Amino acid sequence: MEEGEAVVEVKPKPQKGLRSKAMDWLEGQIVKLMYKTTTNHHYLSGNYAPVPYETPPSNHLPVIGHLPKCLNGEFARVGPNPKFAPVAGFHWFDGDGMIHGLRIKDGKVTYVSRYVRTSRLKQEEFFGGAKFMKIGDLKGLFGLLMVNVQTLRAKLGILDVSYGTGTANTSLIYHHGKLMALSEADKPYVLKVMEDGDLETIGMLNYDKRLLHSFTAHPKVDPFTGEMFAFGYSNKPPYVTYRVISKDGFMNDPVPITIPEPIMMHDFAITENYAIIMDLPLYFRPKEMVKENKMIFTFDTTKKARFGVLPRYAKNELLIKWFNLPNCFIFHNANAWEEGNEVVLITCRSENPDIDLVNGDVKEKLEQITNELYEMRFNMKTGIASQKKLSASAVDFPRVNESYIGRKSEVNVIDAKTMAAEAVAVVELPHRVPYGFHALFVTEEQLNEQAKLY
């Protein structure tokens, strides 16, 4: 194992006892007095509902059609699958990370589903119920009280937050022999695909203690250099920190990025020579949460959207160049590249977003979400930024061929309702797979590489 590559075994030490029971009682009283218990959790119903169990490797699945024998690897998709019912609120972004995997080899398929064995999950299994606060709780005065409940549990030693509190439910990335499950409020969890297709959580990656902040759910691996580029955001300065990880897995020194307020920054982008930092006005404002009964992240329609173009290997932020565009928010970028003096970003742009739209019982509000595909251009010589719309609503979760990340590529928008081509193969799964977030195909070569490490 090379320097910076040690994976930390996650062994939290929560404690039961009188203090734990007292905090349960206090939390129960707060919920009883302040939370509308009749709320219908849309994101715990229908196909958003969690599956109640893991599935060990289920092989020789029926295949309608045929799988090309050259298609060997592991298709994995991660998403939220809460093991325990929430005490109060629930947001779609909540829920323990569960990976649904298809091991494909020589035209045959094995299916498996496994939780990512996070510190959070291990501790709630120890207690036999939900103990950590949810994003769905973070609204109004009730949200402030629920934050204090978790803070007290940690101070009293009931919960162990030394390994973080993340869910690893958002995305997957493969870099330097490691498959990682990610959520942006925590550090990466390293997984191993076993010979029979099963999935095992190895531990947490902190890059030999060089990673001291949260790690984005959307790092970028440059297909030409093998390096990985990432960032983390925080509600305390520095609000954004940029990182470069070598092809050999060594994390270089942090590059703090100065922005006016703490924000939610879900994604970023790279080109051959630059990284694009997005300072968009979805702010962390706990005071407004309490005063105006809002979610803890509030979108400010009066602010411009700011994009910082930073040289990829900058040692500090002195060379970052900021560009302004009309007010918007972005969850996901498709790709970015350079054309002459311009840096081009292809992205899914939304106006006046509200993360409360995917919270509680707000199914009917989903029609208000209007993500549109945009091309944005930042001229490094003139300092001028421009944008144009490429599609109608709603577009998100874009993917490009990973061989073209950071390089010019075509963008194809497909209407999934009218796709006429018949599937080459349909694999019959043993049970329902809930809606989730991001997926990754791990090649046979990568599977062989990661098998040697642990």
- Model confidence at 1, in pLDDT bands (50, 70, 90)? very low
The distance between the two most distant Cα atoms of the chain, rounded to a whole number of Å, is: 66
Q: Examine the pLDDT at 68 and tell me if it is beyond 50.
A: yes
**Per-residue pLDDT tens digits for 219-267:** 999 999 999 999 999 999 999 999 999 999 999 999 999 999 999 999 9
- Model confidence at 418, in pLDDT bands (50, 70, 90)? low
Backbone angles phi, psi at 181, to 5 degrees: -100, 135
Question: What is the pLDDT averaged over residues 1-7?
Answer: 59
Strand 97-105 and strand 73-80: the pairing is antiparallel
How much is the pLDDT for 2? 46
**Per-residue pLDDT tens digits for 393-403:** 778 888 888 89
- On the 0-12 / 13-18 / 19+ scale of CB atoms within 10 A, 382 is exposed
Residue 119: helix, strand or coil by DSSP? helix
How much is the pLDDT for 42? 87
- Model confidence at 352, in pLDDT bands (50, 70, 90)? confident
Helix 140-155 to helix 18-34 angle, to the nearest 10 degrees? Answer: 180
59 neighbors 153 (Cβ within 8 angstroms): no
| pTM, full prediction | 0.94
Instruction: Characterize 73-101 residue by residue with b for buried, 16 or more Cβ atoms within 10 angstroms of its Cβ, and e for exposed.
Output: bbbbbbbbbbbbebbbbbbbbbbbbbbbb
Sheet holding 255-257, edge to edge: 220-221, 228-233, 240-245, 255-257
